Chain A
């Protein structure tokens, strides 16, 4: 397990954007670990920095106004932030690939879907596959008849487009799949199909996956481990069971509290009060402190330490004891 654990390791990642002369602290010291063939769910609300983490791993952040300030991203022992662009290009699409959020815009509208799958094979071809054959094979694997190779994205439904996007991502048998809200743009039935498909294919090829989502239901269905991210920092980290059964960070508890209980007749939803902090002006201490009912002066003093509550379950909160007592 120890060896597997270090297949993907993100250490202390810090990413900043510059906009209008202000510095946006998008990601502030994130640590992640992912074993081979495991799935890590990255959960958080809009703007928490989930997508930025994924793009930093793949090094496809926009050139202008965006900077990885520090940290390391190790894949199989190699630091992806230190290798040259040329080496990185061999990894992109081949070892790591990404599934994008919106299948409606993630496919080139004037290129045949088959060619779009074949393109990634062609770019990483080591003579193993005939790109066209492989593309047809991939179409069949994701449940689209190979005859539709010649068609354009607009002739496909949303769910089918997402299948094509998945086919592109998996065409080169990557070791790591970054799925950026792969089901957000789909309706619930299609969402279930797509998640099943991703799950099956992952198990078949033993691909590790970083699943970015804000949907706890999706996490429950797919992930092994969960990292809850808030304002660019990971506030809680643990296995799915640990997070779902024993949430210890006030934010995580708040997230679960926001899900309406289907068994009871609830008139009001229970959102977390307040708004996420302004990323250009983050509080010095715990970023969640202004919204947290357990917050004390201690929370605002400085960086919050991460405490281990159980094996593999970390929580960045200085009032864990109170929270566990009062949260129930």
Chain B
């Protein structure tokens, strides 16, 4: 029997099969697929924005101020006669990249800090966690407003401010996971076969802590987009004329009664993206967990 089985052809290279497996798993979850599709469409639109946008996003047309949606202007025009559809397309570049980049940076730094605190414990843990306590004691929005105010407005600075806001939560979450996973016998077993500390953390602990982190991160992207929009709304984030969604909301808020479509469309864009991200996050976690395979 052994001879027979060993003659069988080996499975495909692992990277390929791993990716396929995750995609296959993901495709079974309808909600996740819908979220993923919406997100992919948004990303493609954002990349191709300058080519599909019917108008230049800065082009003002005083004949069409507050124009309601029509064939010529799909989402209508804003107070300066700029085409809202074009502005939302271009704005997707800012909003999406800001959300994804800030969360990514924040998560990586947060995980590094959390891993150190969770693994070494004792004094190290105490010092790190007390510092995080102080950071978290300040309300998130206030913290980011302060950060943006100190760094000054602008796209990169907004990303830094947002990333900073993500760190504490991520670090705390990973630490809590680590404390739980660390007690498992396989961690002790990995010590007994002579894994280095770095290897134990990177190969054994973190992969076992990942599932809540993935959900947290995808939801974090959604949250970051809304917060970034909030920052732009109060004038600290991305600066006009750059058409960040939040900035668009903020710019048109005084016209909300006369021309609600100025607010509805950027608001809808934010809402749809956040929804898609949340839908995908859940599915992704399930798909990445080998225990739920089959």
Q: Chain A: residues with CB nearer than 8 A to chain B?
A: 58, 60, 64, 89-90, 92-94, 97-98, 100-102, 105-112, 119-120, 123-124, 140, 145-147, 150, 152, 154-155, 165, 168
A109-B208, A150-B11 known; A100+B193 contact, CB < 8 A: no
Contacts of B192 in A (CB 8 A): 58, 60, 92-93, 97-98, 100
Shortest Cβ distance from A103 into chain B, in angstroms? 9
A124-B194, A140-B2 known; A150+B185 contact, CB < 8 A: no
State A94–B195 Cα separation when bound (angstroms). Answer: 12
Q: How many A-B residue pairs have CB under 8 A?
A: 92
Residue pairs across A and B with Cβ atoms less than 8 A apart, 10 shown, are A64-B121, A92-B193, A100-B188, A108-B186, A109-B186, A110-B207, A110-B290, A110-B291, A119-B203, A150-B14
Cβ of B70 within 8 Å of any chain A Cβ, yes or no, is no
Q: Closest B-chain residue to A146, C-beta based?
A: B6
Contacts of B258 in A (CB 8 A): none
Within 8 A of A (CB), among B1-56: 1-2, 5-6, 8, 10-11, 14, 17
Shortest Cβ distance from B19 into chain A, in angstroms? 14
A92-B194, A94-B194, A110-B207 known; A105+B184 contact, CB < 8 A: yes
Q: List 18 additional A-B contacts (Cβ < 8 Å) besides A110-B290, A147-B6.
A: A92-B194, A105-B185, A107-B189, A108-B186, A109-B186, A109-B208, A110-B289, A119-B190, A123-B194, A123-B199, A140-B2, A145-B1, A145-B6, A150-B14, A152-B290, A152-B293, A154-B293, A155-B293
Q: Chain B: residues with CB nearer than 8 A to chain A?
A: 1-2, 5-6, 8, 10-11, 14, 17, 121-122, 184-186, 188-196, 199, 203-204, 207-208, 210, 289-291, 293-294
State A62–B8 Cα separation when bound (angstroms). Answer: 45
Q: Is the Cβ of A105 less than 8 Å from the Cβ of B191?
A: no
Which 9 interchain pairs have the tightest Cβ spacing? A93-B193, A92-B194, A105-B185, A120-B193, A93-B194, A152-B290, A145-B5, A106-B185, A98-B192
Contacts of B210 in A (CB 8 A): 110
Q: Closest B-chain residue to A89, C-beta based?
A: B194
Contacts of B191 in A (CB 8 A): 60, 92
Partner of B185, one of A93, A101, A112, A123: A101
State A89–B290 Cα separation when bound (angstroms). Answer: 31
State A249–B195 Cα separation when bound (angstroms). Answer: 42
State A107–B208 Cα separation when bound (angstroms). Answer: 11
